[in-house]
Amino acid sequence: MVCSHCGEVLREKLQQAGFTVEKVELGEVHLAEPINTDQQDRFAKLVRENGFDVINDQNSRLVEQIKQLIIQLVRTSEKLEGPLSDYLAQKVHRDYQQLSRLFSSVEGKSIERYYILQKIERAKELIVYGEMNLSEIAYELDYSSQQHFSRQFKKETGLSPSHFSEIKENRRISIDEV
């Protein structure tokens, strides 16, 4: 899940199906009690029917955790105190080289690329909202300068941020499709 609304919808569907949901967080569902094999199958089917996926193996969970950390980082005002690699290694208590290899093998792109794509999608959203100027967006997304932000935006989208702002077409990609 990438938003609280998605979590609430899933919570409601699971409760309607008879599951006792303790909490729904970004990327996780906590049930009140363990479920048997038949219930696991029903749970997985219901989750998939609602556009999500069940992640059971440890590597997939770790990749999902990395993705959720990056999404949270991009969508909050939290600023990195150092490199992204240090931030992630500290958060998941693993060596960054191991995380990087695993992420690339599962996702087919590097962690850094995923981070950039998330930042660009957030930038598109902020531009469409029109509440911030490009300098403020660059700062919000932790770019070193507006020029750096503009170059990266154009490289990824083919448009300058100001041109994107002018056309205001819905050119965003769903967060889970990045």
> Is there a single domain that holds both residue 22 and residue 45?
yes
> Is there a single domain that holds both residue 62 and residue 16?
no
How many percent of the chain have pLDDT more than 90? 49
> Is there a single domain that holds both residue 64 and residue 42?
no
Q: Residue 135's domain is classified under what CATH number?
A: 1.10.10.60
Number of structural domains (the chain) is 3
- pTM exceeds 0.75: no
Give the tens place of pLDDT for each residue, 93-152: 999 999 999 999 889 999 999 999 999 999 999 998 888 999 999 999 999 999 999 999
> Is there a single domain that holds both residue 80 and residue 94?
yes
> Is there a single domain that holds both residue 71 and residue 22?
no
CB of 85 closer than 8 Å to CB of 96? yes
Domain that holds residue 168: 115-177
Give the DSSP letter of residue 27. T
